[in-house]
């Protein structure tokens, strides 16, 4: 599996391509190196032979054939010229003197150069390889001067072997390295793939394996894990929301069903039917209301800053909210008041801001206003517009403060109060659309809910 994956891998293909390319370049380079070394060695040897040839010809010119024979014998006897080969033959190629037994049959030209191997003239030499120069002397006899170049040839051969070996070794090494690195890469990717498949099959509980090497693979795996955690979180939230929707919908739907079922089995009675229809419509509008709240929040969350935004006075909006909720506060025996009426301007949507502040005030009255006071304050603090709504109710425990902004999240003590648990989600969505920050503080006792809007100047540059 891993082998097949490795062989299919694009990394390996690329690596092999690179090895091929560099191999060819290296081959050309080393070939040139070999060629120049070999020809250098060869030409040096040829020059030495030519020099020897000149020496012998001089001897011939000075002292004739006998002088030449004597010089040849002398040179053969000289230990320093061990590798020298000499042969003097008469016009019919019969040996007259020298250390080569007979004239190689192949050399029939008047003069020239030749390399003699055992193969080309098996009878000629006990020596394995000769390089010779030969010529015909004025008296018709033939002179052959040469050297045993076996050592040179061996040397050049050794260089050739070394170079070829280097190329081969490097290619094999690079190939193996490419294969191993690719296999490692493919192995990591395969591990990630395997986990991905497992996640697709069995859920978001699993995480990418880490090796603790903190290399790029670990970082990739870490980021994927973070992403998975975020997705899992969102999924849980969505699931919770749909569970809650299902639960909160079931209550009115069950009521409606039961009521209609009962009415179905009873004889018609216009007064009772009327009440039944009214009750059912009331329940239906609860259900529809919940849906439109959810849609509204989703739409606000999906919106970007809109061109419907304009400069609005937060103090005036909050004042309207306070005025509207005054009756509601009175009804539960509480009191709501507005601290200041100085205009505080922000860029925004009046409807959404009203709805958001109204939701917070509604909560404050519902949970904190019983025989208590709700104070709404709109000020500009250090240039930052601030709306704060304070009550003296039970407040929200610190660790629950971020949760209450989630859809359908309800605190224990509010579970039986009216409402659908969507109010603060709407507030959060509106705040986000206006770049406003939500802050919840302890009012000891009670809650201070604050909305910090962006500074006026920043806001202007936004639009």
Partner 1 sequence: MAGARRRILVVEDDPVTAEQVADSLANNGYEVDIAADGNVGLRRGRSAEYAVMTIDRMLPGIDGITVIRQLRKEGIITPALILSALGEVDDRVRGLRAGGDDYLVKPFAFVELLARVEALARRSTAVLKETMLQAGDLELDLVSRTAKRSGREIALRPREFEVLWYLVRNQGRVVSRAMLLQHVWDLHFDPTTNIIDVYVGRVRRKVDGQHTYPLIHTVRGVGFCLRAPG
Q: Which residues bind partner 1 (CB under 8 A)?
A: 278, 281-282, 284-285, 288-289, 292-293, 295-296, 299-300, 303, 306-308, 320, 323-325, 327-328, 330-331, 349-352, 354-355, 358-359, 362, 418-420, 422-423
DSSP characters over 181-218: HHHHHHHHHHHHHHHHHHHHHH-TT------S--SHHH
Cα angle 443-328-449, degrees, rounded to a multiple of 5: 25
Q: Where are the beta strands (DSSP E) in 202-325?
A: 310-313
d(Cα 82, Cα 75) in Å, to the nearest integer?
9
Name the minimum Å distance from CB 340 to partner 1: 20
Structure tokens at 325: 């909720």
Q: How far is the CB of 328 from partner 1 (least distance, A)?
A: 4
At 306, list the tokens: 């809109």
> Which H or E run includes 379?
strand 373-381
112-117 β-sheet, strand order: 95-98, 84-89, 142-148, 129-136, 112-117
Q: Which residues touch 98 (CB under 8 Å, ≥6 apart)?
A: 72, 76, 85, 86, 87, 88, 144
C-alpha distances in angstroms, 101 versus 52, 60, 104, 230, 369?
19, 21, 9, 95, 131
Residue 20 or 282: the one with the smaller Cβ distance to partner 1 is 282
The phi-psi region of residue 146 (left if phi > 0; otherwise alpha if psi is between -120 and 50; otherwise beta) is beta
Rounded Cα–Cα distance for residues 11 and 185 (Å): 9
Reading the block at residue 174, the tokens are 């690079």
Return the DSSP state at 145.
E
Nearer to partner 1, 52 or 362 (CB): 362
The least CB distance from residue 418 to partner 1, in Å, is 8
Between 323 and 442, CB nearer to partner 1: 323
Rounded CA separation 207/210 (Å): 9
Q: Which of residues 153 and 362 has its CB atom nearest to partner 1 in the complex?
A: 362
Q: Which helix (H) or strand (E) holds 447?
A: strand 447-452
Nearer to partner 1, 293 or 339 (CB): 293
Smaller CB separation from partner 1, 156 or 426: 426
Least distance in angstroms from the C-beta of 414 to partner 1? 14
Shortest Å, Cβ 270 to partner 1 = 16
At closest approach, how far in Å is the CB of 302 from partner 1? Answer: 9
Q: Rounded to the nearest whole angstrom, what is the least distance from the CB of residue 228 to partner 1 in the complex?
A: 33
Query: Which C-beta is closer to partner 1: that of 74 or that of 278?
Result: 278
What is the DSSP pairing of strand 384-390 with strand 373-381?
antiparallel
Minimal distance, residue 393 CB to partner 1, in Å: 17
Tell me whether residue 125 or residue 321 sits nearer to partner 1 (CB atom).
321
> Helix count (H) and strand count (E) of the chain?
9, 12
Residue number with CB closer to partner 1 (189 or 287): 287
């Amino acid at each position: 599996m891993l082998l097949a994956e490795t062989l299919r891998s694009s990394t390996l293909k690329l690596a092999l391509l690179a090895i091929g390319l560099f191999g060819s370049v290296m081959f050309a380079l080393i070939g040139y190196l070999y060629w120049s070394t070999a020809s250098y060695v060869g030409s040096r040897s040829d020059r030495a032979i030519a020099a020897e040839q000149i020496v012998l010809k001089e001897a011939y010119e000075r002292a004739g054939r006998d002088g030449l024979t004597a010089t040849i014998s002398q040179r053969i006897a000289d230990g320093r010229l061990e590798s020298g080969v000499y042969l003097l033959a008469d016009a019919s190629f019969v040996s007259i003197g020298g250390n080569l037994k007979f004239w190689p049959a192949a050399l029939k030209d008047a003069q020239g150069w030749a390399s003699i191997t055992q193969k080309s003239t098996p009878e000629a030499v006990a020596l394995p390889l000769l390089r010779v120069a030969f010529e015909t002397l004025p008296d018709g006899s033939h002179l052959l001067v040469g050297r045993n170049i076996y050592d040179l040839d061996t040397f050049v051969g050794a260089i050739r072997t070394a170079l070829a070996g280097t190329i081969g070794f490097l290619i094999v090494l690079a190939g193996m390295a490419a294969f191993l690195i690719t296999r490692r890469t493919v192995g990591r990717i395969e591990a990630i793939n395997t986990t991905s498949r497992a996640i697709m099959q069995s859920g978001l509980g699993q995480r990418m394996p880490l090796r603790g090497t903190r290399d790029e693979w670990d970082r990739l795996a870490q980021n994927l894990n973070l992403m998975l955690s975020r997705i899992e979180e969102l999924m849980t939230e969505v699931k919770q929301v749909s569970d809650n929707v299902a639960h909160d919908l079931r209550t009115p739907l069950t009521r409606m069903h039961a009521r209609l079922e009962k009415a179905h089995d009873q004889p018609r009675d216009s007064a009772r039917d009327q009440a039944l229809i009214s009750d059912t419509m009331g329940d239906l509008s609860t259900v529809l209301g919940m849906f439109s709240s959810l849609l509204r929040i989703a739409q606000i969350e999906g919106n970007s800053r809109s061109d419907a935004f304009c400069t609005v006075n937060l103090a005036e909006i909050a004042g309207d909210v306070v005025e509207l909720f005054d009756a509601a506060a009175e009804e539960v025996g509480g009191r709501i008041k507005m601290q200041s009426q100085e205009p505080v301007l922000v860029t925004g949507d009046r409807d959404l801001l009203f709805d958001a502040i109204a939701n917070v005030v509604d909560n404050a009255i519902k949970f904190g206003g019983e025989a208590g006071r709700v104070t709404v304050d709109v000020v500009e603090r250090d240039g930052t517009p601030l709306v704060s709504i304070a009550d003296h109710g039970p407040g929200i425990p610190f660790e629950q403060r971020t949760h209450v902004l989630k859809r359908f999240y309800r605190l224990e003590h509010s579970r039986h109060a009216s409402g659908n648990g969507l109010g603060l989600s709407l507030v959060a969505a509106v705040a986000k659309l206006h770049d406003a920050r939500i802050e919840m503080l302890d009012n000891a006792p009670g809650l201070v809910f604050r909305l910090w809007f962006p500074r006026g100047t920043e806001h202007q540059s936004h639009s």
